Amino acid sequence: MNAQLNVVVDTVGVADATPDEKQPYAELGLAEDEYARIREILGRRPTQSELAMYSIMWSEHCSYKSSKVHLRQFGQKNPKTPRLLAGIGENAGVVAIDDHLAVTFKVESHNHPSFVEPKQGAATGVGGIIRDIIAMGARPVAVMDSLRFGELDHPDTGRVLPGVVEGVGHYGNCVGLPNIGGETFFDPCYQGNPLVNALSVGVLPRERLQSMQASGVGNVVILLGAKTGRDGIGGVSVLASATFSEDDDSDSRPSVQVGDPFTEKLLIESCLELFDAGLVVGIQDLGGAGLTCALSETAAAGDGGMHVDLELVPLRAHGMEPHDILASESQERMLAIVAPANVEQVLARARRWGLLATAIGEVTDSGRLVVDYHGQTVVDVPPASLADEGPVYHRPIAEPNDLGLIAVDRAETLPRPAADEEIRQTVLDMAASPNLCDKGWITEQYDSSVFGNTVLGAPHDAGVVRLDERTGVGIALALDGNGRYARLDPYTGAQLALAEAYRNVAVTGATPIAVSDCLNFGSPEDPHVMWQFERAVTGIADACQKLGIPVTGGNVSFYNQTGREAIHPTPVIGVLGVIDDVARRIPLGLGRTGDTIALIGTTGEELSGSEWAWAMHRHLGGVPPKVDLDHEMKLAELFARLASTEQLAAAHDLSEGGLAQALVEAICHSGMGANILLPEGADPFTYLFSESTGRVLVVIPRGQELAVRSACEQRGLPITPLGVVDANTDGLHLRDHFDIGRAELEAAWKGRIGAALGE
Amino acid sequence: MARVVVDVMLKSEILDPQGEAVLGALPRLGVTDVNSVRIGKRVEIEFDDSVTNAEEQSQIIADQLLANPVIENFTVSVPDGNAA
Amino acid sequence: MSARIGIVTFPGSLDDRDAARAVRLGGAEPVPLWHDDAVLRSVDAVFLPGGFSYGDALRCGAIARFSEVMGLVRDAAGRGMPVLGVCNGFQVLCESHLLPGALVRNAHLRYRNRPARLRVESADTAWTSAYAPGAEVVFPAKHGEGRYVADEAVLDRLEANGQVVFRYLDNPNGAMRDIAGIANEAGNVVGLMPHPEHAVEALTGPSTDGLGVVASVLAAVHANRTYDEPHQTEGAAR
């Protein structure tokens, strides 16, 4: 490993002596004025290592420079709630569940890496979000995934989808976290930009909450976990020292990171032991920006100074230069700040788990982040200039020109099936469409039961996890998005996604308490995209204010576009709810013979942006369904009540595909039959396929009909009886119209994905 | 029969969790003087006797199917005594 | 006194907490055992849980075989102590040659998670005596490498000796002769791929059939404790 010493290292001294040396800042993605500002901050030119660090920390990904001015709305509009223990700016938001327990959760994207190398890209996405949860002091207890691909039948989807699913599954399964749900959508706009959004949730005793502060002068900086390799350092390859010759692979600077869930599992167990023993002052995960980010953020959050000896970092690859080590995105690493007296204990506990742990530096009061490499100083910067004082852009915003045209191109004018036989066939065709069909091919590849606390998983509206076996307290989580609605109207579309996730949590009987969002958009340099972004953020912030639940964190993913073609704006919203006793959760299904099937909510003629318009006509136009947040809040309150009094046998939120699809899913899931009579005067097609929001299919046990009806009426919620559950009815009986046997329904609904992938 | 062997290995800079785990286990067997273990795949392809460009075809098979060029390298070889 | 059932945690074990819960709900006392400690802590039986021990590198269960605790488990099994391996635990038992055969990649090449309907083929083992022979049970099956294989002679011998303990009614992985679980000749060591410890509560599992496994070993432990090992010997083995 002496090779490193032969490399001429660009030290602070060298930088001082050679102020005019040309530096590849533009290749590193830094604008000219950004480079000038770095020189101004340092009072000299940056060293190569410093240049690498600024280019990483001031990137869109790390600095949120285009989104920051808009994301401020979350902080400004967030409702005040005593539940919020840590919010935006932390690794993940933390909310109190009761006097003892808190929960932390976050959704994050790993879109581009999942297109390049689907399995590893998706796997490391899951790994990354899990470490955010650990960094808050929590034990991760579940994951969810929101996936978007191009057309199901496109050849490249046959490459991307199985790889992504294998990656999500492999990582989650091996690290031992149940996957409790999510969503999968197909649309041509995601062909070159699949979206892989992963959510993780963890639980902690409230007093175990951790911070990322590197405080306490003299405290030791310890790197935990995997060795550092060349993973993902493609970005800084322009800094490769000319004096260093490569004798390795032709492509020795890969942009792909490989995840190792086994090491992650050891990290989880080790870190939790360290937290419980009170051995850690501060902790931070090493995410996309590796040591650069972890060192500068912990130093900036703490006493402001840190000294690191970079040659102490255990390396996996030969010939890594200082900027490589600082930029590496090698996975499964954490940075811990530990009092000197506890260092031996920390190292010993890590060793017991077979985990590498190395002291690499210490906290100082210098106000500077100083990094030495074999005794030579390669970095000497104010840490806040990296972590907190990055550039902020007010990007131009312009409403897309085509919006007016799209709005008048309403799906309500499309030809509709009229005859019973045509409507019957539409039910089957819709059930078999890629977005509505059974996702069992995907969810069967995920462990859903490890930990033994999964009360509801896929395909229920929300995942429900028990947190405490003695009290039965638990959480519900839903993850939803709809790019089509957001394309038609990003403000309303974002609110529709939030309302759906909120409702999905509510119908299990849980009370929604917090939000995490993953905002997937095209290029921020496109004013039209920026307009979509601003509208979507405003929509979410306004709705959260109204619903009284705060946004606790999340992530922005820009540049999801192929050439000039951006994806549909796709805000994906995770909503967390709390339920006092998971035994009283309301599942998906049909209950028992004789139970009443009813619909809560109002069905209007809302077909624009619907699955029907897309699946049957390839049509996207008009204005999306209306959102009524007052109504959603009443629904949530109603379901929390009906769950606690155990007056519902089952419930299912109506979303894409409307009532028809909700019935198909309830029938296929339960194995029972549904005897349905549509209300007098209702147009069967509209009633079955409209996507009016705020509607829930409920199953009421015999004897509870009056109580449920009066509970709805008290809250001003319309409820319409639709029929009865009957084990002797084969599938769906729509009186006066048609029958579809269960075998025929299942044949249409199941197997579509496997068949498209040649299985 | 023409037999061609394709060895597929992760690129040297790509993390090999399997190899790392095996390396970590070696001390349990009393072996302590190993620096690195990396695990790959060996693929044996047998062509019809009539095939004359087995090696060339194997290159294509390896490049397009057996190896993932994003993370893996491969070598194609013809074992001794084999008229490929 | 309640039976003490040791649950081994290897690095990468995942279902160890679930195994402990099942043991507790079944009326026995779960006792954590650490892979790297050569002590069995006076347990009456051992449960090797599911997961990915040592990352399942090379072959599932291959590295766990060399752990400190497995040496003791092997000896104790030889003396008749009940040992159960579930999923990765089953793989560890096969790699350790405590059970014949091997578990290889599912025939369909994917990890699959589905409730599995099983028939209890033998109630003559330490872990299945509480079931009626031929009883149908439902345990979750979730694995990528659970296809049981062995050569024909071994399979014939297993069948003839009544060592096939659980058989799939809908074979999820291509296992030979639909085998989901087997026992050693003495019937004290049992391995199966599906997870009885995930079928112990109606709230979280597809059934509560898994409690029968704990009930069985409780009966076996109470009937015969002669394989108890004196504490000193354990200490000396370190």
pLDDT for B25: 86
What is the amino acid identity at position A326? L
Best mutation target, B16, B20, B28, B39, to test chain C (most C CBs within 10 A): B28
Q: Among A664, A477, A500, A695, which Cα is nearest to A589's?
A: A664
**A116, A226, A249 ranked by CB distance to B11: nearest:** A249
pLDDT at A232 over 90: no
Higher pLDDT, B13 or C46: C46
The residues of C that are catalytic are: 87, 195, 197
With bands split at pLDDT 50, 70 and 90, how would you rate the model's confidence at C166?
very high
Is residue A675 within 8 angstroms of chain C, CB to CB? no
pLDDT of residue A242: 46
Nearest to A455 among C11, C14, C204 (CB): C204
Q: Give the residue-averaged pLDDT of A668-684.
A: 96
Question: What letter would DSSP give residue C13?
Answer: B
Residue A328 contacts residue A291 (beta carbons within 8 Å): yes
Task: Count how many pairs of residues, chain A against chain C, have C-beta atoms within 8 Å.
Answer: 82
Write the ipTM. Answer: 0.94
The predicted pLDDT at position A250 comes to: 41
pLDDT tens-place string over residues B36-84:
999 999 999 999 989 989 999 999 999 988 988 888 899 999 987 654 4
Per-residue pLDDT, A575: 98
Does the distance separating the beta carbons of C52 and A449 come in below 8 Å? Answer: no
- pLDDT grade, residue C235 (50/70/90)? very low
Lowest mean pLDDT across A248-257, A462-471, A659-668, C60-69: A248-257
- Give me the residue from A354, A445, A759 closest to C11, CB to CB: A354
Beta-carbon separation of B21 and C67 below 8 A:
no
For range A252-269, the mean pLDDT: 84
Q: Do C63 and B22 make contact, defined as CB atoms within 8 angstroms? A: yes
Residues in A closer than 8 angstroms to B73, CB to CB, are 249
Instruction: Please tell me the predicted confidence (pLDDT) of residue B79.
Output: 86
Interface of C with B (CB under 8 A): 54-55, 57-58, 63, 66-67
Q: In this predicted structure, what is the pLDDT of residue B29?
A: 86
C113 has pLDDT over 70: yes
Run of H or E residues at A517: strand A511-520
Which residues, 6 or more positions from A720, have their beta carbon under 8 angstroms from its beta carbon? A598, A599, A600, A679
Return the amino acid letter for A684: P
Does C68 contact chain A (CB < 8 Å)?
no
The answer to whether residue A247 scores a pLDDT higher than 50 is: no
Given pLDDT bands bounded at 50, 70 and 90, which one contains residue A667? very high
Q: Does B26 touch chain C (CB under 8 A)?
A: no
Q: So what's the pLDDT on residue B82?
A: 56
pLDDT exceeds 50 at position A95: yes
b (16+ CB within 10 A) / e for A507-533: bbbbbbbbbbbbbbbbbbebebbbbbb
Q: In terms of C-beta density within 10 A (0-12 exposed, 13-18 middle, 19 or more buried), how is residue A352 classed?
A: middle
| Angstroms from C50 CA to nearest CA on chain B | 18
What distance in Å separates residue C64's CA from the closest CA in chain B?
Answer: 9
- pLDDT for the residue A248: 42
User: In the predicted model, what is the mean pLDDT of residues A496-523?
Assistant: 98
Which residues in chain B touch residue C67, judged by CB atoms under 8 angstroms apart? 28
Q: Given 3-state DSSP classes, what are the helix, strand and coil percentages for chain C, each rounded to the nearest 5?
A: 30, 25, 45
Record: contact B71-A120, CB cut-off 8 A:
yes
| Range with lowest mean pLDDT among A64-78, A229-243, C49-63 | A229-243
The confidence score (pLDDT) of residue A579 equals 98
By annotation, the residues of A acting in catalysis are: 61, 110
Pairwise CB contact (< 8 Å): A452 & C111: no
Closest CA to A338 of A220, A224, A223: A220
Nearest to B71 among A229, A252, A256 (CB): A256
User: Under a CB-based contact definition with an 8 Å cutoff, are residues A381 and A369 in contact?
Assistant: yes
Which one of B18, B28, B29 has the shortest CB-CB distance to C57?
A: B18
Q: What tens digit of pLDDT does each residue of C61-88 get? A: 999 999 999 999 999 999 999 999 999 9
The position carrying tokens 């979730």 is C142
Judged against a pLDDT cut of 90, whether residue C58 lies above it is answered with no
Task: Give the distance from residue A416's alpha carbon to the nearest chain B alpha carbon, in angstroms.
Answer: 45
Residue contact B25–C54, C-beta within 8 A: yes
d(CA A735, CA A254): 62
* pLDDT confidence bin for C164, thresholds 50/70/90: very high
- The pLDDT of A650-664, averaged and rounded, is 98
Looking at residue A698, its pLDDT comes to: 98
Percent of chain A residues topping a pLDDT of 90: 92
Most confident of A501-515, B65-79, C215-229: A501-515
Contact C113 A455 (CB under 8 A): no
pLDDT at res. A2 = 41
CA A86/CA A107 separation, integer angstroms: 16
pLDDT at C1: 57
Cβ A134 vs Cβ A91: under 8 Å: no
- C118-157 pLDDT, tens per residue? 999 999 999 999 999 999 999 999 999 999 999 999 999 9
Q: From chain A, which residues contact B within 8 Å (Cβ)?
A: 116-117, 120, 226, 229-231, 248-249, 251-254, 256-260, 262-263, 316-317, 330-331, 354
Give me the percent of chain A exceeding a pLDDT of 70: 96
pLDDT in tens, A747-759: 999 989 999 998 8
From chain B, the residues in CB contact with A290 under 8 A are none
Residue C236 has pLDDT above 70, yes or no: no
Asked if C195 reaches chain A (Cβ–Cβ under 8 Å), the answer is yes
What are the E-state strand segments in C93-188?
Answer: 102-104, 112-120, 136-143, 147-149, 164-168, 179-183
Q: What is the pLDDT of residue B33?
A: 93
Tell me how far the alpha carbon of residue A7 is from its chain's centroid.
41
Q: Which of A672, A148, A310, A613 is nearest to A664 (CA)?
A: A672
Instruction: Examine the pLDDT at C2 and tell me if it is beyond 90.
Output: no
Which among C145, C129, C152 is positioned nearest to C94, based on CA atoms? C145
Per-residue pLDDT, A7 = 60
Q: What pLDDT does residue C226 have?
A: 54
- The model's pLDDT over A684-702, given as tens digits with 9 standing for 90+, comes to 999 999 999 999 999 999 9
A444 to chain C, any CB pair closer than 8 A? The answer is yes
**Mean pLDDT within A549-570:** 94
**Inter-residue contact A511 to A702 (CB < 8 Å):** no
User: What's the confidence (pLDDT) of residue C234?
Assistant: 40
Alpha helix positions (H), A43-188: 48-57, 60-63, 68-77, 111-116, 118-135, 157-175
Is a pLDDT exceeding 90 seen at residue A224?
A: yes
Q: Nearest residue on chain B to A257, judged by CA atoms?
A: B14
Q: Minimal Cα–Cα distance from B15 to chain C, Å? A: 13
- pLDDT (0 to 100) of residue B11: 86
Q: A547-583: buried (b, 16+ CB within 10 Å) or exposed (e) per residue?
A: bebbbbbbbbbbbbbeeeebbbbbbbbbbbbbbbebe
pTM above 0.90, yes or no: yes
pLDDT confidence band for A240 (50 / 70 / 90): low
